[in-house]
Amino acid sequence: MLDYETKRRITAAFYPNRCPFCGEIVGCGEYCCNGCRKILPYYDDNETIENISHFCAVCRYTGIARDAVLSLKYGRQVCAADVFALMISEKLSGAWADFLVPIPSGFNSVWNRGFACAEIIARKLSQRLNIPVVRALISSDSKAEQKTLSRKGRYENAKSSFMLSKRRDVFGKHIVLIDDVCTTGATLSAAAKILLDAGAVRVDAAVFAKTENLGSNTEGDRSDE
Ligand SMILES: [Zn+2]
């Protein structure tokens, strides 16, 4: 079976790879241009999120990093997911877990976009890290828009919007939650609580972008969170 890099190189012969941050065509083995690599708004905070043992983010949700997230979300520029997965894998290099769990998108957003961002990133990441993706959480689709809620309201809303998939056993497992953007952390925290209550021993989280001002209700374009 062809590995991830080989498949990507073959695809690039027909559809040139573009830098998801500036749109420039890049080489078949490359994911983004060097110029953008240099100027990305890298995340270097050390925030803690309740129920999450270790949280990591690649970028702050601003500038070209934010534009690339929006291009994946709404422009369906799937090449952005390649670079997000690459950069998250660099952050997680050497990390070990039993499986990756993508934060589920609501049915409506999947229907509108045709795909679930977190799941696409998790699947690409899985190929890089050799850690399987397990859809241990499913969306109950009852949630209100997170960005309209208070911090506590977000947590309660997020908690009621996920369910443990009955067919997935997380007991004793070390899990890494994957998402494209983290706003207040309420979604990740609520998802982790469900997994810990079901017997998971440890839950970490990795996202591509983290909004600034933890606790603010005004930022972000993440209707899912
Ligand atoms: Zn670029």
Q: How far is the CA of 180 from the centre of ligand 1 (A)?
A: 19
pLDDT of 168 above 60: yes
Percent of the chain whose predicted confidence (pLDDT) is above 70: 80
Q: How far is the CA of 59 from the centre of ligand 1 (A)?
A: 15
- The verdict on 97 and 32 lying in the same domain is no
**In terms of pLDDT, which residue wins out, 99 or 46?**
99
Least confident of 32-46, 91-105, 142-156: 142-156
C-alpha distances in Å from residue 216, one per residue of 27, 82, 211 = 40, 29, 9
> In terms of residue numbers, what domain contains 121?
42-210
- The verdict on 75 and 171 lying in the same domain is yes
Q: How far is the CA of 109 from the centre of ligand 1 (A)?
A: 28
| Contact by Cβ (8 Å): 135, 211 | no
- The verdict on 94 and 174 lying in the same domain is yes
- The verdict on 62 and 133 lying in the same domain is yes
Q: How far is the CA of 29 from the centre of ligand 1 (A)?
A: 14
Query: Domain tally for the chain?
Result: 2
pLDDT of 149 above 80: no
Residues 116-149 as b/e (b if ≥16 CB within 10 A, e otherwise) read: bbbbbbbbbbbbbbebebbebbebeeebeebbeb
Q: How far is the CA of 79 from the centre of ligand 1 (A)?
A: 12
Q: How far is the CA of 35 from the centre of ligand 1 (A)?
A: 6
Q: What is the mean pLDDT of residues 186-211?
A: 95
Q: How far is the CA of 174 from the centre of ligand 1 (A)?
A: 35
pLDDT of 30 above 90: no
pLDDT of 219 above 50: no
- The verdict on 4 and 87 lying in the same domain is no
Nearest to 183 by CA among 221, 211, 157: 211
Q: Residue 156 maps to which CATH number?
A: 3.40.50.2020
Q: How far is the CA of 26 from the centre of ligand 1 (A)?
A: 8
Q: What is the mean pLDDT of residues 133-156?
A: 74
Q: What is the mean pLDDT of residues 169-186?
A: 94
Q: How far is the CA of 121 from the centre of ligand 1 (A)?
A: 19
Query: Tell me: the pLDDT tens digits for 5-18?
Result: 777 677 666 677 88
Q: How confident is the model at residue 213 (pLDDT cuts 50, 70, 90)?
A: low
Q: What is the mean pLDDT of residues 61-67?
A: 95
- The verdict on 145 and 188 lying in the same domain is yes
Q: How far is the CA of 190 from the centre of ligand 1 (A)?
A: 35
**pLDDT confidence of residue 221:** 45
Query: Tell me: the pLDDT tens digits for 67-80?
Result: 999 988 886 677 89
Q: How far is the CA of 25 from the centre of ligand 1 (A)?
A: 8
- The verdict on 80 and 22 lying in the same domain is no
> DSSP letter string over the chain?
---HHHHHHHHHHHS--B-TTT--B--TT-SS-HHHHHH--B-------TT-S-EEEEEESSHHHHHHHHHHHTS--THHHHHHHHHHHHHTTT---SEEEEPPPPHHHHHHHSS-HHHHHHHHHHHHHT--B---EEE-S-PPPGGGS-HHHHHHHHHHHEEE-TT---TT-EEEEEEEEESSSHHHHHHHHHHHHTT-SEEEEEEEEE-SSTT-SS----S--
**pLDDT confidence of residue 3:** 73
Q: How far is the CA of 32 from the centre of ligand 1 (A)?
A: 5
Q: How confident is the model at residue 22 (pLDDT cuts 50, 70, 90)?
A: very high
- The verdict on 49 and 35 lying in the same domain is no
